[in-house]
Amino acid sequence: MDQLEQVIDTYGLIPQIEHIHTIRTLLQEECANSQREDHEYMRLLCVQLFSLGQLEDTRLIWQAKRLSMDSFVMIDVQLLCGAGLEQTKLYLLDIDEEEATAELAYLEKCESAGDFEDFSKEEWIEQAKLYYV
């Protein structure tokens, strides 16, 4: 059983909220893992956090997205907005840090480009279920 199967088997694609700290820790560990062979496992952890919809997870997902060109491509911009696009933008606006400002600018750029047109968290999760399960 590989990491993806193990995490899905243990926590499910849409985990229970009581597992959020474990999933955050797994994502932090994967971000620090310089030996990773691909970014699929990292993306799955981001999907799980996205599904739980906690505002503060946008920062961790942004960190994962910015690790490399591969992770930037693999981790969809929509995954930054599990709590909703507007709520995430307002959250980032209140944080006086360079990375939060960069993430907000990126979200606004992607929104202007149409990346959030017809965005629905529920539909996004349904697509993830087809992909992972």
DSSP state of 102: H
Q: How far is CA 55 from the centre of its chain?
A: 11
Rounded distance between C-alpha atoms, residue 90 and residue 92, angstroms: 5
Mean pLDDT of 43-69: 97
| 72-131: pLDDT as tens digits | 999 999 999 999 999 999 999 999 999 999 999 999 999 999 999 999 999 999 999 999
Q: What one-letter code names the amino acid at 12?
A: G
Q: Where are the alpha helices (DSSP H) in 75-113?
A: 85-93, 98-112
The answer to whether residues 51 and 125 touch, using CB atoms and an 8 Å cutoff, is yes
State how many domains the chain has: 1
* Model-wide pTM > 0.75: yes
Degrees (nearest 5) of the Cα angle 53, 116, 95?
55
Q: Please report, for residues 39, 73, 75, the alpha-carbon distance to residue 69 in angstroms, rounded to integers and kept in the order given.
A: 10, 6, 10
Give residue 97's domain range. 3-132
